[in-house]
């Protein structure tokens, strides 16, 4: 595997920022529309019948789950749809690789950028919950960090699938069969453990579950030793996942 240069990775992030800052205004709405819709349907609608869950009003429960889910979706859009365009249609990766930067640095930079996007949109949604008066602890200041780690993890995951996808249609399968179920079944809308211990174990495998739990704990100040476990889980999985797209990028992108 080729050596990574911190400078190289940083330039990839800078370059993504250049494109992004032109589009930020028009991308806020699509990124926040989805969670707000869920918030209305689940939090207000179902919340009307549910009452309290996990020691908090259902509306609060759902909105905090949606903070993490929003981050994941933003990272996924970046590392799947946008990355596909940059890899195969605009061939931005090819153009960039004529500079001193190599493909592995582009992959890592792109995943970290997915982390940045997750942070931006997750935090924007967090502000929505702030106005709703849900946040109860100063520890919310750490939520963007969790969003960043989670987004980077999903960045590496999404990039892996984008590199492996034989055609563009497979990207839809990834979003439909992996991301969408995670969105629904990661303690986002209901605590898996109270349905069945079996489901709790399945949920444990979803990175989003750990992010959702962490964000709820931070928002309510209920941070425990378990929180540390969740953080370590996310970091280890992100690091392990980072090797996959790096090791296949050269054989897959045959420019």
Partner 1 sequence: MVNFEEIVLTADNLVKQYGTFFAVKNISIQLKKGKSLAILGPNGAGKSTTLKMIYATTAITTGHVEIKGIDVETNPREAKRHIGVVMQDDLLDTSLNVMENMVAHAILFDIPWKLAKKKAERLLKFVGLLNYQKKEIYELSGGMRRRLVLARALVNNPELIILDEPTTGLDIQSRHVFWNKLEQLKEKGVSILITSHYGEEIERLADDVMIINHGEKIVSGPTKLLPAQQGYGNIEETYLGLTGYTKEHEEIEQTLS
Binding site for partner 1 (CB under 8 A): 5, 7-8, 11, 14-15, 18-19, 22-23, 90-92, 94-102, 250, 254-255
- In DSSP terms, 56 is beta-bridged to 53
Please list the residues that pair with 52 across neighbouring strands. Answer: 57
Minimum CB separation of residue 83 from partner 1 in Å reads 14
Closest to partner 1 by CB, 59 or 163: 163
57, β-bridge pairs:
52
Distance CA 101, CA 81 (A): 22
Task: Give least dist CB 116 to partner 1, A.
Answer: 16
The residue (of 103 and 126) whose beta carbon lies closer to partner 1 is 103
Output the smallest distance, CB 243 to partner 1, in A.
20
Pick the closer one to partner 1 by CB: 19 or 229: 19
Q: 20 vs 142, which CB is nearer to partner 1? A: 20
Shortest spacing between CB 156 and partner 1, in angstroms:
22
Residue keyed to tokens 């992996």: 178
d(CA 184, CA 200): 13
CA distance 79 to 93: 13
Task: Please name which of 107, 117, 106 lies closest in space to residue 78, comparing C-alpha atoms.
Answer: 117
């Amino acid at each position: 595997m080729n050596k990574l240069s911190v400078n190289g990775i940083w330039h990839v992030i800078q370059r993504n920022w250049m494109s992004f800052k032109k589009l930020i205004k028009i991308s806020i709405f699509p990124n926040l529309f989805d969670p707000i819709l869920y918030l209305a349907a689940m939090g207000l609608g179902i919340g009307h019948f549910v009452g309290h869950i996990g020691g908090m009003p259902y509306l609060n429960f759902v909105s905090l789950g949606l903070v993490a889910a929003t981050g994941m979706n933003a990272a996924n859009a970046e590392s799947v749809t946008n990355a596909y365009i940059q890899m195969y249609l605009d061939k931005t990766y090819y153009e960039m690789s004529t500079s001193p930067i190599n493909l592995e640095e582009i992959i890592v930079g792109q995943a970290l950028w997915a982390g940045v996007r997750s942070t931006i949109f997750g935090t924007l949604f967090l502000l929505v919950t702030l106005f709703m008066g849900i946040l109860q602890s100063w520890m919310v200041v750490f939520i963007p960090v969790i969003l960043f780690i989670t987004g980077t993890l999903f960045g590496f995951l999404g990039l892996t699938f984008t590199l492996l996808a034989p055609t563009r249609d497979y990207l839809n399968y990834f979003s439909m069969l992996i991301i969408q179920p995670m969105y629904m079944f990661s303690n986002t809308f209901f605590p898996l453990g109270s349905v069945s211990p079996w489901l709790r174990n399945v949920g444990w495998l979803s990175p989003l579950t750990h992010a959702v739990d962490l964000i709820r704990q931070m928002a309510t100040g209920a941070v425990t030793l378990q929180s540390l476990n969740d953080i370590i889980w996310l970091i280890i999985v992100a690091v392990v996942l980072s090797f996959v797209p790096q090791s296949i990028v050269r054989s897959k992108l045959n420019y």
